[in-house]
């Protein structure tokens, strides 16, 4: 990282993004009976995706703070 810049992952408004392992992703798709294409998408060019170095086809788990539930999980498929 260049000097003087900070990682956007540390910004309080950026929710936590994690790349799922193959096994976890498969479990997720099985749990919701989903095709990979039915997941919400996120572009590879998304600043957070670039930062965590996710590849096309990866599934990321996003953990957000939620007004209604305290914490909420969602998953996105990385696309071109």
Partner 1 sequence: MRAKRIKGIKFGLLSSKEIRKMSASRIITPDTYGEDGFPIERGLVNQHIGVIDPGLRCKTCGGRMGECPGHFGHIDLEAPVIHVGYAKLIHRILTATCRKCSRVVLGEEDRKRFLEEIKRQKERQADVGEVVKQVFREAAKSSVCMYCSEPQNLIKYDKPTTYIEIDEGGKERRLMPTDVRERLERIPDEDVFLFGMDPENARPEWMVLTVLPVPPVTARPSITLESGQRSEDDLTHKLVDIIRINQRFMENRDAGAPQLIIEDLWELLQYHVNTYFDNEIPGVPPARHRSGRPLKTISQRLKGKEGRFRGSLSGKRVNFSARTVISPDPDIEIDEVGVPEEVAKELTITVNVTERNLDVMRETLKRGKKHPGVNYVRRVDGRKIKVTESNYEALAEELDIGWRVERHIQDGDIVLFNRQPSLHRLSIMAHYVRVMPGRTFRLNPAVCPPYNADYDGDEMNLHVLQTEEARAEAKILMEVQRNIISPRFGRPIIGGIHDYITGVFLLTRGEKRFEKEKVLDILYKIDIEDLGEYGGTFESPVRSEVSGMGFEEVRLSRYWTGKQIFSMILPKQLNLQFRGKMCARCIERGEGCKKENCSREAYIVIKEGNLLCGVIDERAIGSFKGIIIDKIFRQYREEVAKVFINNVSRLAINYIKQTGFSFGISDEDLPREGKELIREEAVHEAEKKVDELIRAYEGGELETLPGRTLEETLELLIMQELAHARDDSGIIAERYLSIENPGVLMAKSGARGSMLNLTQMAACVGQQSVRGERIKRGYQGRTLPHFKPDDRSADAHGFVRSSFKDGLSPTEYFFHAIGGREALVDTAVRTSQSGYFQRRLINALQDLEVKYDGTVRETKGIVVQFKYGDDSVDPSKGEYGKVVDIDEVIREAIGVESRS
Residues contributing to the site for partner 1 (CB under 8 A): 32-35, 37-40, 66-69, 72-75, 80
Q: How far is the CB of 2 from partner 1 (least distance, A)?
A: 31
Q: How far is the CB of 4 from partner 1 (least distance, A)?
A: 29
Between 7 and 72, CB nearer to partner 1: 72
Between 4 and 40, CB nearer to partner 1: 40
β-strands 59-66, 70-79: how paired? antiparallel
Distance (Å) of CA 8 to CA 3, 29, 47, 74 = 14, 29, 8, 19
Between 8 and 34, CB nearer to partner 1: 34
Distance (Å) of CA 69 to CA 9, 38, 66 = 22, 24, 5
Q: How far is the CB of 33 from partner 1 (least distance, A)?
A: 8
Q: How far is CA 51 from the centre of its chain?
A: 11
């Amino acid at each position: 990282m260049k000097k003087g810049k900070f990682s956007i992952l540390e910004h309080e408004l950026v929710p936590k993004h994690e790349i799922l392992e193959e096994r976890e992703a498969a479990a997720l798709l099985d749990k919701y009976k989903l095709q990979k294409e039915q997941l919400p998408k996120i572009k590879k060019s998304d600043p957070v995706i670039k930062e965590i170095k996710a590849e096309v086809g990866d599934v990321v788990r996003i953990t957000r703070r939620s007004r209604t539930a305290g914490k909420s999980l969602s998953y996105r498929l990385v696309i071109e």
